[in-house]
Amino acid sequence: MELRKAILSDLDTIMRILSEAREAQRAQGFVQWQDGYPASSTIVSDIERGDAYMLIDDGNAAGYVAIAEGDSEYDRLRHIWQMKGNRYCVAHRLGLADSHRGRKISGRFFSLIEAKIVRRGTRLIRIDTGLPNKAMQHILEKRGYTRLGTHEFVWGERLAYEKLLESV
């Protein structure tokens, strides 16, 4: 399994993965991503900024994540974070393809994300998730992310998490 930079020719595959992730949320009984989110224009922006990554498993597209250095909304809410004044990365729009859902690969996916961030020279990751997204909350807490409570982001009420990463 590897994490590789996404390119524009990956757009259709990424949109399929994110559509499947959105439907998986609904099947679990909640809506975190509204219909139309994330839009293809958002993913194109991720790719153009160099923030877009594909999870590849044995040559097959297994997932997608945008890894950004900093986030203006997270900066606006600077009072919620425990580790202040540190450079950080954010994982946004994380989704698995249906073909890889239920195979217990989320830990490996997060390990690759975290290793990528450390290789960038950053040791702090922040992420948020919806209150009903129990699966993501379980994954984050199992991986040692600190839960920082419920906060009102511009995209809605979310649980905020952060984690100081070890060197790889």
Sequence ranges of the domains in the chain? 2-164
Q: What percent of the chain has pLDDT over 70?
A: 98
Among 4-8, 72-76, 100-104, where is mean pLDDT lowest? Answer: 100-104
C-alpha count within 13 angstroms, C-beta hemisphere, residue 69 = 12
Query: Rounded to whole angstroms, how far apart are CA atoms 9 and 11?
Result: 6
pLDDT at residue 24 tops 90: no
Task: Name the CATH topology of 2-164.
Answer: Aminopeptidase (3.40.630)
The pTM for the full model equals: 0.92
How distant is the alpha carbon of residue 122 from its chain centre? 16
Query: Rounded to whole angstroms, how far apart are CA atoms 59 and 92?
Result: 23
27 versus 91: the higher-pLDDT residue is 91
pLDDT at residue 160 tops 80: yes
Phi, psi of 59 (to 5 degrees): 85, -5
Nearest of 110, 25, 98 to residue 67 by alpha carbon: 110
Residue with structure tokens 């690969």?
105
Q: Which two tokens stand for residue 20?
A: 């499947």
